[in-house]
Structure formats: C-alpha cells, structure tokens
Amino acid sequence: MSVGKKILWGGLGWVLGGPIGAILGYAFASMSEAQSGQGGYSVGYQRREYPRTKPGDFIVSLLVLFATVMKADKHLLKSELQYVKQFLHRQFPRQNVQDFMLLFKDILEQDYPLKDVCRQIQRSMDHPSRLELIHVLFGLSQADGSIHPQEIEAIHRIARYLNINEQDFNSIKAMFIADTQSAYKILGIDPSATDTEIKKAYRKMATKYHPDKVAHLGEDLRLLAEEKFKAVNEAYQTLKQERHFA
C-alpha cells in the first residue's frame, strides 16, 4: 500500500475520528499492507471491524493510554502485555482480541500527541468513564507487582489531560498505594475533617463511584467499578472505627 493510501486512511479517521482515528487509521493501513503479502489476507482482515459499541470505543481509547503507561519506565514487561491481553479477553471474543493486540503492538511503536488524544477522549466520554480509565491504568501499572514512579507520573499527566481533578486522582491512587492516610485520600478529605464532613464525603464518593454509572461500558467494566465502590465503603468503615462515630 502506498504512503498516500495510508495517509488517506489516517485522514478518514477510521471510526473514532480526531487524533485517535488518525493514529489508528494509519496503524490499520500498515497492518493491511503487511498482511496483503500473505495470501491476500488483507481483504479478509478489513472485513473484521472492531466492535462498534460503547465498550469498544472505551477499549480503543484505553489501548492508546495503556501504551503511554507501559513505556513510561522505558521497559515493556511481559506481565503488562499479559494484563492487556487478559483485560481484552474479558471484553470481547477471541478474534476481536487478536485484532486489538495487533493494533496495540503497532500503537506501542508510535509516538503520538498524548494531550490531543486525551482531549478527544475527554470530549467523548463522561466523567465516570474517565475515572474508570484511571482505575484501569493503575491496575496495569501494578501488573508486575509494583508501581513505578514514572508510571504514576504518566497516569497523573493523563488524568490532568482528561480533566480529572487532583482529589479524584489521589482518591484512586490511594486505592492502589496505601499509607496511613489512605482512608482519608480515598474519600477525598483531609485528616482534619470533622465526623460530619467524613459522612458527607462518603455519600459524595459513593455516588460518584457507583457501578451503575459505568454500566454502559459493559458488565465486566461495571464489575471492575465495584472495586472502587468497595474501597470507598472500606475507607468509611475504617474511619468510623478509628473515630468511634455511628
């Protein structure tokens, strides 16, 4: 396939449009070019489309962000690739997973404008879905048993670009990196907060992280969201026991 054809695919924006579409359009053009030399497989490949669903849009966006976090510490680990593959297997049939992994490997080899990609995601996704993105990115970072400081910085940068405030970022971070103030951070409050303020913060966060808010992303992602909801409840129970209030 000629460079002109690749640019055309990128210009068409594939499915999502914008910078994400341009990146993915070029990637698919490249993959089709490579596969066209293998018995004309590119025709069959082009007939297989990525799932045009809300979960499908979510996963394609997530792949771009996965690549950023994985490359942050300059090491691409097998455990991280396995996390991505297993995550996809929970969402889609095997053939879709194979296509997504081909796409992901191509994305890993590219440099792209992260801020522009995140701004497109921010415009097309509601706030609960963007919070879920950050939660999943921390899960990826933890796949090798530890969370590298450069990965935290990459996720933090993504969160800022996604218009997620510091309180929400620190709340999710505290669910993965525990310290003596984790319960307060999860609820988005300071240790100096009154009992009444703790109760108010709990109600606010329980509503914000309710799994039903991301039900449109699919059942498995809704179940994943229950982890945040559970963490909020556990943080509240911890503070109730420490402070002895009802």
CATH number, domain containing residue 214 = 1.10.287.110
> In this structure, is residue 187 part of a structural domain?
yes
Q: Is residue 241 part of a domain?
A: yes
Asked if the structure places residue 26 within a domain, the reply is: no
Nearest to 136 by CA among 31, 229, 76, 221: 221
Contact 55, 91 (CB under 8 A): yes
d(CA 45, CA 31): 9
| Phi, psi (rounded to 5 degrees) for 192 | -80, 0
Rounded distance between C-alpha atoms, residue 31 and residue 91, angstroms = 23
150 in any annotated domain: no
Domain annotation covers residue 56: no
227 domain residue, yes or no:
yes
pTM of the model: 0.81
Domain count, the chain: 1
CB 141 within 8 A of CB 135: no
CA distance readout (Å), 147 to 63, 86, 155: 19, 19, 11
Q: What domain range is 204 assigned to?
A: 178-246
Q: Tell me if 111 is assigned to some domain.
A: no
Q: Which of 7-16, 60-69, 77-86, 103-112 has the lowest mean pLDDT?
A: 7-16
Encode pLDDT of 172-189 as tens digits: 999 999 999 999 999 999
Q: What is the mean pLDDT of residues 66-89?
A: 91
pLDDT digits (tens, 9 = 90+) for 110-140: 877 889 889 888 888 889 989 999 999 999 9
- Measured CA to CA, the distance from residue 203 to residue 197 in angstroms comes to 10
Task: Indicate the SS3 state at residue 58.
Answer: helix
